[in-house]
Amino acid sequence: MRHECVIIADSPGALVELCGISILERLLRTLQRCGLKRAIVLSTTPQLISDALAQPSRPRSEIDLRVCHRPDGGGMIEEIVAARPETGQLLLVIRGDVVFDGRLLELLLAQNFTTGLVDSSVPAQFESLVASAQDTNAGKFTGAALLQYDWTLRQNGSFDEAMRAGLERQSLAVLDVTEQPFYDKALRRKLRPFWFPAPSASNTKVAEGILLDSVQKGSLDLPALIHAPIERFLISHLCRTSINPHQLTIAWIVLASITTILFTFGHLIWGMVLALIVGILDGLDGKQARIKVETSKSGKLEHRFDSLFEVAWPSALAYHFYTTGQLPAAFIYLSVLLLAEALDGIGKAGVYSVSEKLLVEPGPFDRVVRLVGGRRNIYIWVLAVSVILRVPAKALIVMAWWEALTAAVDLAQAAWSRRLLQRKKSWRSS
């Protein structure tokens, strides 16, 4: 793993703000998540860069930063050679005015040779954004490369000129964006790895649209499809505030706890109103963390609360329906529901693990099951319909059998997916 890098960053390009943070800040946060420990920033505007980075930032606090002056018209390969911390390692050299998908930097850092990151087939929707990037015979140069000390010693001119010459002479390896897997394990969907230089004012909305799209998870259920545009609108504004993901997590946990109390004492309408709000808030904290590159291990705590309320809400409803005599068998149906949820968790894990190993999206049938399968958001709709029909207790019965059917389908799909995986492994080995 590489631990050091040189960043060529000048104002105003590196300090252009997208979705609440500057391009340089976003890059440093991404590099920290890639394991980088030290970074030297070469800049013709060192004071502006230093001022912009002066404010403490936890998402990049583990990187030891040093800002150095370079003369106007600099960025020469000689300056990079002089700035590099160690001569025996491959060094990441990267432009600080380019936005990079973290997956691309992880792939580049995993290389063992002098390598340039290029894009040989830029999609139409990206063309206006990357028009200013340097053209080479291997494609658009993205502004990132992994350089060996001996190789840099043999180069002349600027970083961009050295990279173009190296690609033309084929003296460095090529890592092509187009040839990389599009499946994103974290989002569980296909998403082409993206990169683009600092956008012009007219292209800012396009650039921010790409970033907002990059934080949306795939395989959504039916309510989440309705929540998605609402969450996107809210995040497009929240990302410009100082509200952090932990505060959003605390907000929905508090509201979800109040919802549990309301369900317990039979205040179903107010409980459903809060549950619908929780359904939206529950998606905002993760999106805020991803859009501002503030994801952390503590964020996994949210998933434990998700699991808690998957149990707490139906348990509260079962208690209410039992104590009021509306459903004497309420706890039997609750047991069916909870057992089915546990089995369904095993089934879903099996389906997604196979998808991740094959780097493909779950199939169409899996997506349909995810769309209408048993889930907390779906059950709030079931409860709402039951309340409207004035048979609220029937909701728990429907939830129990709905979850049982979902679990049966997911377990069968998981078994089938694993069988396909074993077949593909046997084909590759034969």
Tens digit of each residue's pLDDT (9 = 90 or more) over 24-56: 999 999 999 999 999 999 999 999 999 999 999
Q: What is the mean pLDDT of residues 137-163?
A: 90
The residue ranges of DSSP E strands in 156-288, in sequence order, are 173-176, 183-184, 189-190, 195-197
Q: Residue 145 pLDDT > 70, yes or no?
A: yes
* pLDDT recorded at residue 372: 85
Determine the Cα angle at 179 with ends 106 and 416, to 5°: 90
* pLDDT recorded at residue 189: 87
Tell me which H or E stretch contains 144.
Answer: strand 139-147
CA dist 74 to 10, 71, 161, 163, 288, Å? Answer: 11, 5, 12, 15, 36
Q: Within a domain: residue 37?
A: yes
Q: Look up the pTM and report it.
A: 0.88
Q: Within a domain: residue 259?
A: yes
Question: How many structural domains does the chain have?
Answer: 2
In a shared domain, residues 61 and 104: yes
More confident residue, 356 or 27: 27
What percent of the chain lies above the pLDDT cut of 90? 67
CATH number of the domain enclosing 247: 1.20.120.1760
Q: Within a domain: residue 25?
A: yes
In a shared domain, residues 143 and 243: no
Highest-confidence segment of 56-65, 215-224, 415-424 = 56-65
In terms of residue numbers, what domain contains 303? 220-429
Q: Residue 117 pLDDT > 60, yes or no?
A: yes
* pLDDT recorded at residue 361: 66
C-alpha to C-alpha distance for 332 and 14, rounded to whole angstroms:
60
Report whether the peptide linkage leading into residue 12 is cis, meaning its omega lies within 30 degrees of zero: yes
Q: Beta strand pairing status for 139-147 and 115-119?
A: antiparallel
Q: Using an 8 Å Cβ cutoff, are 93 and 6 in contact? A: yes
* pLDDT recorded at residue 218: 81
More confident residue, 374 or 330: 330
Q: Within a domain: residue 278?
A: yes
* pLDDT recorded at residue 302: 75
CATH number of the domain enclosing 12: 3.90.550.10
In a shared domain, residues 181 and 249: no
In a shared domain, residues 183 and 252: no
pLDDT digits over 369-380, tens only? Answer: 778 888 899 999
